[in-house]
Amino acid sequence: MSVRGYILVETEVGRTQAVGRAMRDLVSDLATVTAVDTVTGPYDVIVQLDAEDLDQLGKCITEELQAVAGVQRTTTCLAVSLG
């Protein structure tokens, strides 16, 4: 069963473009980056990740996404199936 997460990223001032580019270029064995959008509002970048399981998703976020220079904080929203 696969897991999809939407990672809401807050960046350091002036780093949004560089963070978005780094997220688009991220290659990981843990999860697949399926979309990256630079957005307005309380978050600066939203990353969509697909992983085989929750552990791999979590490791990708904490070990890879949060390690990108300019990332200040992340919030993860998990996709669920309600039907």
Tell me the pLDDT tens digit for each residue of 2-17.
Answer: 999 999 999 999 999 9
Phi and psi at 37, nearest 5°, equal -130, 135
Q: Rounded distance, CA 40 to CA 1, Å? A: 32
pLDDT in the model for residue 1:
65
Tell me the pLDDT tens digit for each residue of 21-60.
Answer: 999 999 999 999 999 999 999 999 999 999 999 999 999 9
pLDDT band at 64 (very low <50, low <70, confident <90, very high): very high
DSSP state string for the chain? --EEEEEEEEE-TT-HHHHHHHHHH---SSEEEEEEEE--SS-SEEEEEEESSHHHHHHIIIIIITTSTTEEEEEEEE-----
